[in-house]
Amino acid sequence: MPTPRPHDQALPSVPPVRALRTPGRPRLHVETTGDGEAVLAITGWTISTAIFRPFAGVLPDGMRPILFDHRGAGRSGGWAGPVSVAMLAADAARVLDACGVRSAHVIGVSLGAAVAIELAVRMPWRVRSLALVGGWSGGPLSATPGAAEGARTLATLARDSARRGRLWPAAFLFSPAFRASADPATLDAAVRPFLVGRAGSWVASTQALAASCFNRRTDLASIRCPTLVAHGELDAMSPVRNARTMAAAIPGSRLEVLPGGHAFPFEDPEGTAELCRSWFADVRGTEPPVEATARDRAVERLTRPFALQTGLVRNQRDLALRLLGRG
């Protein structure tokens, strides 16, 4: 059974923001402001739109940010069943529909990068451009932290959380240099958005299952929209090799490796803002690479319920390739 979500912190608001709820179930909390070309920002594992609020002013004039909480996180409705990345991508499309937007520039962060890839593959007519931040393409051939590094990160997480009496994920989010050099107030301010509106253990487990069954490695070459792959050089959750692999596979993509960890934008907000502005200056006015057909829409709807099973089959294929020394 699902567990209640924690609401120990208020969700801050950044005016002027228009809040709305999507129709259908579960109802998703959406925030948008301004007018112009839509920029859909997709958040990561268990976290809410709070992580985007410190960067509210980085978009150029004439760009309209659209933020939303995943089902079961933040202020969106709960969900008791399993979830796939394809379902989360369909949720993103529902958000665009609720905002009256046919297509958008899409930013995906961490798990949100997987959702953004899925949206670009399944519904390319909805995606004008793609920015993948701290992401990976899924499957057993993706790079993972080494055993020793992973053990050190987990030990630091456990020690920090015990000291504070609550989850404190700085070890997963930020580089050792930033954690060592930042004053306590700066570090607290960087971690806080990752705790606001955080999903509970049930949603965390369903999102983890979705991530483990996500595998679009061989579909990256089909992405035709302009794509930015941005990654922290010292990412402790998704090693930078994943970014290089994605950038090599997506035609014409741009790779930016920045100093810092998984949440490098919080370590270097000025550099991130400059990258964001230059990217949107380049892709502004871009249209989706294809128009939707009735067949495309039907295939997307019919295949969506089987996304977890399909991902498992792809994972088995990649494991076989690894065993044969071809991965």
Cα 300 to the center of its chain, rounded Å: 21
Burial class (CB in 10 A: 0-12, 13-18, 19+), 53: middle
Q: What is the reported pLDDT for 4? A: 38
Count of beta carbons in the 10 Å neighbourhood of residue 313: 12
In a domain, 278, yes or no: yes
pLDDT reported for residue 20: 87
Provide the pLDDT for residue 109: 98
β-partners of residue 68 are: 30
Residues spanned by the domain of 285: 18-323
Do the domain assignments include residue 2? Answer: no
> Among 12, 51, 50, 15, which Cα is nearest to 33's?
15
Q: pLDDT digit of tens for each residue in the chain (327 aa)? A: 344 343 334 334 444 678 888 988 899 999 999 889 999 999 999 999 999 988 878 898 899 999 999 999 999 999 888 999 999 999 999 999 999 999 999 999 999 999 999 999 999 999 999 999 999 999 999 999 999 999 999 999 999 999 999 999 999 999 999 999 999 999 999 999 999 999 999 999 999 999 999 999 999 999 999 999 999 999 999 999 999 999 999 999 999 999 999 999 999 999 999 999 999 999 999 999 999 999 999 999 999 999 999 999 999 999 999 898 876
Residue 3 lies in a domain: no
Domain assignment present for residue 131? The answer is yes
265 part of a folded domain: yes
| Any domain includes 8 | no
User: Structure pTM?
Assistant: 0.93
Q: What is the pLDDT of residue 17?
A: 76
pLDDT value, residue 327? 67
Amino acid (one-letter) located at 144:
T
Q: Is residue 185 part of a domain?
A: yes
pLDDT at 173: 98
The reply to whether 1 falls in a domain is no
Q: How many domains does one find in the chain? A: 1
CB 283 within 8 A of CB 128: yes
Q: What whole-number distance in Å separates Cα of residue 273 and Cα of residue 327?
A: 36
Strand order in the sheet with 127-133: 18-21, 29-32, 63-68, 37-42, 104-109, 127-133, 227-232, 254-258
pLDDT of residue 94: 97
Assess whether the previous peptide bond of 16 is cis (omega < 30° from 0).
yes
- CATH number of the domain enclosing 240: 3.40.50.1820
